[in-house]
Amino acid sequence: MAINQDLFHYPEAAKELFIRTEDITFRDGTRVSAEEIWEFLTKEAPVRFPHAFDNGRYNRNRISGDIALPYSLKDEYLSLTFNDRMLKAKQKGIPVAFVQGGQCVDPYYAAGAIALRPASVNQWAACQREGVTFTQAQVLREDDKERASQSISFEVCNTAGYEYIQEGSLPVDMIAPYSCLRCSDVSYSLEAHRHGKRQDVKLFLGDFPMADQKNKEWAVEYFAENIKRLIRSIDELTGRETTEEDLRKEIILHNEGRRLSREIAELWWAPDTPPTNGKDRRAILQMGGMEVHGDPEASLCVLREGKRFIEERVRKGVKGHGLIDKPARIFLCGSCVFPSDYRIEEGGGVIVGTDNHWSNISTLVEETGDPYYNLAKATLSYPYEQNVYERAKWTAEQIRKSRADGVLFMYNWGCNTQSAMARMLCDEIKKLVNVPTLIIEHEFQASQSEQLLNRVSAFVEML
Amino acid sequence: MTLQSVELIRKRVAERPAELAEARTNGQKVVGWQGYNLPEELIYALGLIPVRIGAGGDDRLVEIGARYISTKNCVYVRETVGLFAENKDPIVQNTDFLAFDATCLQTYRTAEILEYYFNKEVVVLGVPRNFYWPEAQVYFTKEVEHFTGRLEELSGARLDHDKLAETIELYNRIRGAIVEIYEYQAERERLISWEETYDIIHAGYVLDRKEYLRMLEGTLRELQEAQGRPAPEEEDEARIFISGSVIPPGDKKLIHIINAVGGRIVGDDLWSGLIPYLDVHIGENTVEGVALAYINRTPHGALPYLELETDKRIKRLKELVKNYKAHGVIYHTLRYCDPYSFKAKETKDVLAAEGIPLLEIHTEYSGSDYEAIRTRIEAFVEMLKIRNFETLRN
């Protein structure tokens, strides 16, 4: 029986403007033109990845629809070519490492590896399955997750890619996350790989010390040593020797991404009605982490061009696609959580910022001096990883800057550390900025339950 | 029949809160602590009174604690928060400040919550996850020195070398006595049960340490005198070893069920049981010596170790199962206790390769799963008995 899907199509009318935009240059020096991207998005991708073009209300990842925003299309292109690009890199002998979300990836790239966070690993796996509908993709993803639950625990939230790397098909070479406090599951799931089928996968833990870590010289030195060992470990895979200069250069490159994201955020936050919808805000700001596409140079290309478009829109007073005038502004807290931007926007709200995937992006690394020490110092300074008072103080500052009217704290089922923090952080934020807060538990799926969406909508309405 | 010394220990535990209150009136400070890599010796050597805090088995306190932490945290930390929220527990009431380590990240968060909501002064000791690296040992040593410095500030005393040496000697003797009592509890003669031994260990969480050592030595004397007593008629057909998540004072559900269905517990490697007393080899009577001894013990499950073949925790588990002649392992996991839940399947596979059966019991402190657990354990005990019978027959 055929299933009728409401699929998104890029309108031909948008082509002319888009193909005049810039090429994307990749880390290996190759390029793709805007015209080639357009061809891919309008002809090849809808056939190979119909799930990504699902335009249903329950698909929180559905294509933005802001066709006049080239970076939005380019971000889709980079997401949908994940499998193609990773396999190409693998053929060239580039190792792939699984990392934690919300951490910097400078050392991995300095050593010549590709660093992928959990969401990127999931995206890679999703792109391996061609011709499936959104619903089929959801069911298959649930099956994948079930395999990890069987092998690790049904209470696992972050599986460190176990279902794909050990039980499935992704040729990841190394599991090497930092053990930040943001997520404890990733460390235990990393350990679970030791009893998996693939004993050739290298395991490494970047031991992120805790308890006032950024103010303790010995903690910074210890973490710097972790970064050194991480790089040596990748060097064993590549057969090359990474130098201090390689790391310094990579820091400078990644700092550019971090700076651009900060500047774009300031621009985006300024108008009463933001210049893009929530999905496109998230897409461009997360690019500053330089890991979302598995290719920092490609992310940087899109980021540079994206900044110009945001500047222009703000200057001209262009309103974000699908937004009402002066929407209720929501700041989102918590790890690995994405409420449906579209449903929030239907209700008259918009997500204006997050603490996760922003704490690391908004922390610049000193470019002169010992790069290991500098990187360690910056990483241990991530506001998200500090005690409740410091994290709340920084979050309150972001709330003020983004002019948010309310705070939504979400955590995934099974996430011990963020759930433990939720009430305490919200209570402290209320003291500092006196905005309403809502805490919601969330199931990690691309489709979202009506129950969850109702609660978020009611919160938006109240604001 | 319960030993007289065990009766006395239980009596002294009941009397202890009043003593703590009196000591505080006389100017002494009481430090409530929780963790695995936190060296209690340092607290004691500074003239502070250490009490290990945390309890289990009370669903009401779990519910109270969840209002501050969350329902996605293990019941042990929720109950710990509940104890402070309610503030009726006489030990908790008598703590002047708290000391936690960052071994288990939920415990670490608990420390933050106790500080935030209940205005407790908390000293936190960082613990490295790559604990077996030389650099990690340097880091931990500095953390322990820093921790000691904070304790000195709070106590107003300086750590004295002779006092530390004397304390280490005292604690070494306590550890030695506990290990010796554990050997007795596993004997065929059943002069003392595992449950009594477990109570003795928990008594050590609160009693004055010098008095505690005297009592342990009293128990050992009594056990030595009772040797030669005829063994009970009942056979040891289902000797069970308990592994996994913490079973703190007050959490008796699993223990009652095992006994009720005819199993006999003969050993454990629990955080709240024997394991903290094993492998503490303090080379030098210094802060560094203490730090290195603690970090080189059998690691806690919350510290990831990336090579299965050389994992000291697994190795120790196998040795203990063998030493106490256990027929099977009940692997106890608390809901949302990720450090141990995530290892259940692996541990089962590892022990299966040695011919040791393992049953995982995943539970919390409510009584609603009592009968379901009872059915599973009864079947496991029955299976062990049949296996033993068939082994003997063949």
**What tens digit of pLDDT does each residue of B327-358 get?**
999 999 999 999 999 999 999 999 999 999 99
In total, how many domains does chain A have?
1
Task: With a cut of 90, say whether residue A445 has pLDDT above it.
Answer: no
CB contacts of B110 in chain A (<8 Å) are: 420
Across the A:B interface, residue pairs with CB atoms under 8 Å apart total 148
Residue predicted with more confidence, B391 or A115: A115
Task: With a cut of 90, say whether residue A244 has pLDDT above it.
Answer: yes
Question: Touching check for B132 and chain A: CB below 8 Å?
Answer: no
pLDDT, residue A310, reads: 98
- Closest by CA position to A48, among listed A37, A56, A40: A40
The DSSP result for A219-270, as a single string, is HHHHHHHHHHHHHHHHHHHH-----HHHHHHHHHHHHHHHHHHHHHHHHHHS
Q: How many residues does the structure list for chain B?
A: 394
Mean pLDDT across A335-363: 93
Question: Touching check for A424 and chain B: CB below 8 Å?
Answer: yes
Question: Touching check for B310 and chain A: CB below 8 Å?
Answer: no
Question: Touching check for B363 and chain A: CB below 8 Å?
Answer: no
pLDDT band at A3 (very low <50, low <70, confident <90, very high): low
CB contacts of B133 in chain A (<8 Å) are: 207, 225, 229
pLDDT, residue B120, reads: 94
Mean pLDDT across B387-392: 81
Residue A410 main-chain phi, psi, to 5 deg? -120, 145
Share of chain B above pLDDT 90, in %: 93
Cα separation, A151 vs A162, whole angstroms: 8
Let me know if residue A450 belongs to a domain. Answer: yes
pLDDT, residue B354, reads: 94
pLDDT, residue A446, reads: 61
The DSSP result for A133-149, as a single string, is -HHHHHHHHHHHHHHHH
Question: Touching check for A194 and chain B: CB below 8 Å?
Answer: yes
For residue A102, give the 3-state DSSP assignment.
coil
Let me know if residue A401 belongs to a domain. Answer: yes
Residue A438 main-chain phi, psi, to 5 deg? -135, 135
CB contacts of A184 in chain B (<8 Å) are: 105-106, 338
CB contacts of A207 in chain B (<8 Å) are: 128-130, 133, 136
Task: With a cut of 70, say whether residue A1 has pLDDT above it.
Answer: no
| Nearest residue in chain B measured CA to CA from A220 | B139
Mean pLDDT across A77-85: 98
Question: Touching check for A335 and chain B: CB below 8 Å?
Answer: no
The answer to whether the CB of B373 falls within 8 A of the CB of B361 is yes
Let me know if residue A455 belongs to a domain. Answer: yes
Here the tokens at position B126 are 């960082």
Let me know if residue A453 belongs to a domain. Answer: yes
pLDDT, one tens digit per residue, over A149-203 is 999 998 888 888 899 999 878 999 999 999 988 888 999 999 999 999 999 999 9
Let me know if residue A418 belongs to a domain. Answer: yes
Q: Residue B374 burial (CB < 10 Å; 0-12/13-18/19+)?
A: middle
Let me know if residue A258 belongs to a domain. Answer: no
pLDDT, residue B112, reads: 97
- Flag whether the pTM goes above 0.90: yes
Task: With a cut of 70, say whether residue A2 has pLDDT above it.
Answer: no
Question: Touching check for A203 and chain B: CB below 8 Å?
Answer: yes
Let me know if residue A382 belongs to a domain. Answer: yes
Those residues whose C-beta lies under 8 Å from the C-beta of residue A119, and which sit 6 or more positions away, are A101, A292, A336
Q: Which of A57-66, B128-137, B174-183, B314-323 has the lowest mean pLDDT?
A: A57-66
Those residues whose C-beta lies under 8 Å from the C-beta of residue B200, and which sit 6 or more positions away, are B6, B9, B178, B181, B216, B219
Q: How many residues does the structure list for chain A?
A: 463
pLDDT, residue B216, reads: 98
pLDDT, residue A4, reads: 64
Interface of B with A in 135-194 (CB under 8 A): 135-136, 138-139, 142-143, 146
Residue A423 sits in which domain range? Answer: 328-463
Q: Which residues are bridge partners to B358 per DSSP?
A: B329
pLDDT, residue A59, reads: 87
Share of chain B above pLDDT 70, in %: 100
pLDDT band at A455 (very low <50, low <70, confident <90, very high): confident
Residue predicted with more confidence, B232 or A165: A165
The DSSP result for A22-46, as a single string, is --EE-TTS-EE-HHHHHHIIIIIHH
CB contacts of B146 in chain A (<8 Å) are: 216
| Nearest residue in chain A measured CA to CA from B309 | A194
CB contacts of B344 in chain A (<8 Å) are: 153
Q: How far is A148 from chain B (nearest CA, A)?
A: 11
pLDDT, one tens digit per residue, over A367-392 is 999 999 999 999 999 999 999 999 99
Look-up: residue for tokens 């690019």?
A: A287
Question: Do the chains contact at A209 and B116, CB–CB below 8 Å?
Answer: no
pLDDT, residue A338, reads: 84
pLDDT, one tens digit per residue, over B355-376 is 999 999 999 999 999 999 999 9
pLDDT, one tens digit per residue, over A245-274 is 999 999 999 999 999 999 999 999 999 999
pLDDT, one tens digit per residue, over B53-74 is 999 999 999 999 999 999 999 9
| Mean pLDDT across chain B | 96
pLDDT, one tens digit per residue, over A89-121 is 999 999 999 999 999 999 999 999 999 999 999
Interface of A with B in 400-419 (CB under 8 A): 411, 413-417, 419
pLDDT band at B222 (very low <50, low <70, confident <90, very high): very high
Let me know if residue A112 belongs to a domain. Answer: no
Cα separation, A205 vs B130, whole angstroms: 7
Question: Touching check for A443 and chain B: CB below 8 Å?
Answer: no
Here the tokens at position A192 are 């679970």
CB contacts of A417 in chain B (<8 Å) are: 105-106, 109
Task: With a cut of 60, say whether residue B246 has pLDDT above it.
Answer: yes
Residue predicted with more confidence, A158 or A349: A349
The answer to whether the CB of B131 falls within 8 A of the CB of B295 is yes
| Nearest residue in chain B measured CA to CA from A386 | B112
Question: Touching check for A192 and chain B: CB below 8 Å?
Answer: yes
Question: Do the chains contact at A419 and B304, CB–CB below 8 Å?
Answer: no
Nearest CB among A203, A388, A419 relative to B73 is that of: A419
Question: Do the chains contact at A416 and B73, CB–CB below 8 Å?
Answer: yes
CATH number, position A449: 3.40.50.11900
CB contacts of A150 in chain B (<8 Å) are: 345
| Nearest residue in chain A measured CA to CA from B70 | A420
